[in-house]
Amino acid sequence: MADIEAEGISRIWCLGDLVGYGASPDECVALAAERFELCLIGNHDLAALGNLDIAEFSPAAAESAVWTRNRLGEDAMAYLGGLEYQDSVGPIGLWHASPRDAIWEYVLSTLPAGECMDAMSTRLGAIGHSHVALWFCRRAGEGLPDGEPALAGTTRDLSTGTWLLNPGAVGQPRDGDPRAAWLMLDLDGPRAFWHRVPYGIGEATAAIREAGLPASLAERLYYGQ
């Protein structure tokens, strides 16, 4: 949030999964309710509400979902329960997972990215879910889009073509960079700028262990996996 404020950002959007792996779910939801203009609901949020079958979750994810469900306060439950899993703001469509399946689909390569672009009604789209910062772009007349991971400092001119962007993850990035990831959009440009920010991983892992959550959820934070 400090890095976002330093950039003078006027509108903050979240693509979902406020809760599900960490030890401070109520605090995360309260921050979102206070500061975010728009927030989507993710599969882990739905699981915490009891509105999603966790049979397909990994054992650690399922355990953390049950733990979160048993500890969420009434205010957090009410906020999460009022969220949608897709939205649009001006020229950009927003989905938790993908335009084809807003809850479950992982878009990590060019083939599904192109199929998702076919399902988009907007030229620009943003997705979360995978915890991996990425960009995909299809120029006019092309088949499969181009795409690659968006490393720290990546910038892209969005003025032409169809784009599908993933900002990465704040709390549990999975692209080998343990720093928190976020994406800055200039819709007037239009341009995209990917940021990475160090945060207190030691404090987060200590809280996870103290809560009795699976140790793997703490250890992976150090490696961005």
- By DSSP bridging, strand 124-127 and strand 92-95 are parallel
CA–CA–CA angle 61, 66, 68 (5° rounding):
90
Query: What's the pLDDT at 142?
Result: 75
Which tens digits make up the pLDDT trace of 134-180? 999 999 877 899 999 999 999 999 999 999 999 999 989 999 999 99
Query: What's the pLDDT at 62?
Result: 96
Q: Does pLDDT of 47 surpass 90?
A: yes
Helix, strand, coil percentages for the chain (3-state, nearest 5): 30, 25, 45
Query: What's the pLDDT at 109?
Result: 97
Q: Does pLDDT of 37 surpass 80?
A: yes
Which domains does the chain carry?
A: 2-222 (3.60.21.10)
Question: What percent of the chain has pLDDT above 90?
Answer: 95
Which tens digits make up the pLDDT trace of 178-203? 999 999 999 999 999 999 999 999 99
Q: Does pLDDT of 52 surpass 80?
A: yes
Query: What's the pLDDT at 207?
Result: 97
Separation CA 27–CA 171 (nearest Å): 13
Residue 93 near residue 125, CB atoms below 8 Å: yes
Query: What's the pLDDT at 143?
Result: 83
Q: Does pLDDT of 10 surpass 90?
A: no
Tokens of 220: 């992976």
Burial (CB count <10 Å: 0-12, 13-18, 19+), residue 82: exposed
pLDDT band at 96 (very low <50, low <70, confident <90, very high): very high
pLDDT band at 40 (very low <50, low <70, confident <90, very high): very high
User: Across all residues in the chain, what is the average pLDDT?
Assistant: 96
Query: What's the pLDDT at 140?
Result: 82
**pTM of structure:** 0.95
